[in-house]
């Protein structure tokens, strides 16, 4: 798994790339649906990404879902740089 933080001037992006099974393109529109499960693994409720999506949306973030260079899933969240800068208080 690879985690990176980048910015393009206007937005700050956190990206997680993994080498797992990935997310098939036909599933990507449903991964944030509550109780949707792409697996039959016992003990999985299908709420994790729904909760993450609620937090991302509430904070003005945007998702980007794709395929990782490592072969698995690539999930990114970006926020307006102004929001990220608001938390900085400078040297202190």
3-state secondary structure of 61: coil
Q: What is the pLDDT of residue 83?
A: 58
Q: What is the pLDDT of residue 89?
A: 58
Strand ranges, E, within 8-92: 11-17, 62-67, 73-80
Which tokens in the block code for residue 36? 């949707």
CATH classification for the domain delimited by 2-86, as one of 3.30.565.10, 3.20.20.70, 3.90.1150.10, 3.40.50.300: 3.30.565.10
Pairing of strands 73-80, 11-17: antiparallel
Which tokens in the block code for residue 31? 């991964």
Q: What is the pLDDT of residue 19?
A: 93
Residue-wise pLDDT tens digits, 44-91: 667 888 999 999 999 999 999 999 999 999 999 999 987 556 666 555
The answer to whether the CB of 31 falls within 8 A of the CB of 53 is no
Residue-wise pLDDT tens digits, 11-24: 999 999 999 888 88
Q: What is the pLDDT of residue 63?
A: 96
Helix (H) or strand (E) holding 7: strand 2-7
């Amino acid at each position: 798994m690879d985690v990176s933080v980048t910015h393009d001037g206007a937005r700050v992006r956190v990206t997680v790339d993994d080498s797992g099974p990935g997310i098939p393109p036909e599933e990507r529109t449903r991964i944030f649906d509550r109780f949707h499960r792409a697996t039959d693994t016992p003990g999985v409720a299908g709420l994790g990404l729904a909760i993450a999506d609620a937090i991302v949306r509430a904070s003005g973030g945007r998702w980007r879902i794709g395929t990782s260079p490592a072969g698995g899933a690539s999930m990114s969240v970006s926020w307006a740089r102004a929001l990220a800068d608001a938390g900085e208080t400078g040297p202190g």
